[in-house]
Structures are given as C-alpha cells and as structure tokens.
Amino acid sequence: MKVIAVNGSPRKKWNTAALLQMALDGAKSVGADTELIHLYDLNYKGCTSCFTCKTRDSKHIGSCAMKDELTSVLDNISECDALILGSPIYLGNITGEMQSFLERLVFPKISYSAGYGSVFKGKISTGFIYTMNATEAFVEIMNYEAIFQRGQGYLKKLNGTTEYLLCLDTYQFNDYSKYEASMFDEKHKAQVKAKQFPLDCQKAFDLGARLAVV
C-alpha cells in the first residue's frame, strides 16, 4: 500500500503540512509506505489546453503530456493506492499551485465521450484537507461548501472513495503583534490552536489510516 500526500501550501511546517504529516502517520500506523510532496518546491504550470490527452490513438490518453517537474509526481500518483491533498484557502479558493496540480492530474482522466466519465483504469482512494482562517459561520456565509464538493467531484475521476476534512479558524502567525491583523483576537486564536487543532490532527491521522486500508 502506497499513500502519497501533496501539500498545496507554501509553508512546509505549518497547519496544512502538519495535518498532512499526521495523515501520513495514520497511514504508516496500518503498514503503508508514504511520501509527502511540496508543490511549492516544483517548477511547473497548469494545463495548457494542448488536448494531447484527448487526441485519438495518443499514448497520453488519461495522462498529461507536458514535461516538467510535475511529470514524475503525476506518474508516481498514478501508481499509488491512496492520495491525500492539502491546501489552505486563499482568496476564497485553494491555492493556485493546487489548482494547477489538479488541472494536470484530473483533466486528462475526464472523458469527452458520452457520459463524461473517467478514462482512468486504476482506483485511488482520496482525501482532501482544507485549512483556513475562516470560522464555521463565515464558511457557511461564503458557501465554501461548493469548493469542497467541487474538489470531491474532481477526485471521483480517480475511481476510489473520497472524503474531506476541514480545519477552521487557524492560527496564522507566530506573533500577531508583528502584523496588521487587529480584526483577529490572538487570545481566541491561541485557544483554538490549543484545543481544536490537536483534535483536527487526530482526525487527519484517522483519515490517513482509513484511506490506507480501503
């Protein structure tokens, strides 16, 4: 069993990365081999609409034909058993790096034939961890649920089970006094970090363990 996690955050040791590592720890606890990939370490672009993945008789049906530092990552993912993605919410959406990654991962697998199904022959179970400064009330007001459901729709093209985990009201800075952020109550943020984040870490651990045995 191979489980790959993909970090769509520019930070390697903060909320998103920490939760992804917990998910991998969960996968390891049931015997899986694991790998963590940081998208911000890679030089790549999103889909360029070349349509090689849709060309008749192309060897790239179901896979992206572009060659860059994401190519080998996509190749490895196509052979894994479970995939766990993580992204903070920036400007009301996943990061640009994660969106570009998803374009390259998912679009080649979407069939343009009748039924709009998947041409992917494998089966990969997936999870998506979303982190955000927003509160639960704000998430509802902004209808972020549409983002989470869209993500699930993308990942269903990999033919496996899919689920997602939310980490809300996150602690953004080591020292709030250094930043123009008076709209946030640092004491409240610290309390959430102390009480809720460990619970979110356990949820991530459990998610990884579940995906590694599906």
Its domain, for residue 146, covers 2-211
Q: Calculate what percentage of the chain has a pLDDT beyond 70.
A: 99
pLDDT tens column, 26-59: 999 999 999 999 999 999 999 999 999 999 888 8
CA atoms within a 13 Å half-sphere pointing along the CA-CB vector of 49? 0
CATH number at residue 47: 3.40.50.360
Distance between CA atoms of residues 80 and 77, nearest Å: 5
Q: What is the chain's mean pLDDT, rounded?
A: 92
Q: How many domains does the chain have?
A: 1
Per-residue model confidence (pLDDT) at position 10: 96
Give the DSSP letter string of 115-167.
T--B---S-EEEEEEEE-S--HHHHHHTTTHHHHHHHHHHHGGGEEEEEEEEE
> Which pTM value belongs to this model?
0.93
Per-residue model confidence (pLDDT) at position 114: 64
Per-residue pLDDT tens digits of the chain, which is 214 residues long: 999 999 999 999 889 999 999 999 999 999 999 999 999 999 999 999 999 999 988 888 889 999 999 999 999 999 999 999 999 999 999 999 999 999 999 999 998 886 778 989 999 999 999 999 888 898 999 999 999 999 999 999 999 999 999 999 898 878 787 888 888 888 888 888 889 999 999 999 999 999 998 7
Distance between CA atoms of residues 99 and 195, nearest Å: 31
Q: How many residues does the chain have?
A: 214
